[in-house]
Amino acid sequence: RGGAPSNIFIYGTTGTGKTAVTKQVLSKLKERAESRDLAFKYSYMNCQHVDTKYRVLTQLCEDIGIDVPFTGLHFDVIYQKFKEALDDLDTLHVTVLDEVDMLYKKSSESLYVLTRMNSDLESSKISIIGITNDVNFKETLDPRIRSSLSEEEIVFSPYTAEQLNDILTQRSDVAFHKGILEFGVINLCSAVGAQQHGDARRSLDLLRVAAELAERNGDEKVTEIHVRKAQQVIERNTVIEVLTSLPIQTKAVLQAIFMGEGKTEAITTGDVYEIYSKICKLVRLDILTTRRVGDLINELDMLGIITAQVISKGRGGRSKRIHLTVPHRQVREVLESDFRLSKIFEVDSI
């Protein structure tokens, strides 16, 4: 209608279709706008990667067709550039910020800048759609941002097993020949997805991988066994992928945890650091400070590779109890394939 657009806030756990629906709606809107000759643009960004105000603006510029370097310019310069370009386009621009909580955590300023951009714009308007799976996010938000960001709210509830079942049935009718899927396969996939907070993506991936396994095996039907197998394959692949792409220092810390776990039950930050230092000496790696290693341990925790729980041992001090949460075999496999660290495994004692 050409009126002032509201900012929208969308909640919902992973795999409930927030992103898919948002994208779908926006592209429909775009179609409509085009057919009526209305100016409409949108850009989508995932704040896991786009997590500074600078990057947000860079991304926005790219989306409306301005070339900017990914680094080098003063923020204000980019801001001006974008503002002018957008005003020239005389359009309505919708900015989708997926996983806004990440952006806010790392740079609360960016959201503020975005919300107040409208007052700087003359002929164009900008509207923000924030997507998050953190239900408490709104409470942690700065009041000034909160009021303008959450003018309207939409909640996506998790899919139930039945809904997942419908989705899978519908998809599989298109993707597979009749009778390929053994009875119960879809049920199992949707049940697993429902357990994962109603995650449709998980269910679909599971079904796809199970089918691939069956095909590779030359089996005629996809059975529940394939699904179980697929579960393991997916799990394993994601773990290995994450581990392999870790920076060398983080890997060294992981290795220290790995070796420490073999010896004692509860391994602490201090233990890890001790082993880590020895490893570094052996492979001629710079030894980082405890402070930094503490952060690396936290990073591993965030990635879900380990759990690090703060505990107090009274006069024994406060520390973190650290545990690996991924299979040891996979950790070893990845570490052994890293040429810089592999030789540690040839040494008997650390």
Quick note: the x/- pattern for DNA over 268-307, rule CB under 7 A, is xxxx--------------xxxxxxx-xxxxx---------
- The residue to which tokens 């290795």 are assigned: 255
Q: Pattern of binders to DNA over 154-193, x per CB under 7 A? A: ----------------------------------------
226: Cβ contacts below 8 Å, ≥ 6 apart: 185, 210, 211, 213, 214, 217, 219
**227 vs 211: CA distance, rounded Å:** 8
Which of 65, 143, 218, 310 touches DNA (CB under 7 A)? Answer: 310
Pick between residue 275 and residue 335 the one whose CB is nearest to DNA: 275
Distance CA(273)–CA(257), nearest Å, equals 9
The distance of closest approach from Cβ of residue 9 to DNA in the complex, given in angstroms and rounded to an integer, is 25
CB of residue 330 vs DNA: minimum separation in angstroms?
Answer: 22
* Closest distance of CB 61 from DNA, Å: 12
Task: Note whether 318 binds DNA by CB under 7 A.
Answer: yes
How far apart are CB 159 and DNA at their closest, in Å? 34
Pairing between β-strand 152-155 and β-strand 92-98 as defined by DSSP bridges: unpaired
Per-residue buried b or exposed e for 284-315, using 16+ beta carbons within 10 Å of the residue's own CB: ebeebeeeebbebbeebbebebbebeeeeeee
At its nearest, how many Å lie between DNA and the CB of residue 104? 15
Tell me whether residue 240 or residue 287 sits nearer to DNA (CB atom): 287
Within residues 64-123, the interface with DNA by CB under 7 A covers 69-75
Q: Which of residues 32-51 bind DNA (CB under 7 A)?
A: none
Residue 288 CA to residue 147 CA, distance in Å, equals 43
Token digits of residue 105: 């955590």
- Which ranges of the chain does DSSP label H, i.e. alpha helix? 18-35, 53-63, 75-89, 100-106, 108-115, 137-140, 143-149, 161-175, 185-195, 200-217, 224-244, 248-263, 269-283, 290-302, 328-336
Q: How far is the CB of 245 from DNA (least distance, A)?
A: 11
Binding site for DNA (CB under 7 A): 52, 54-55, 69-75, 247, 249, 268-271, 286-292, 294-298, 308, 310, 312-320
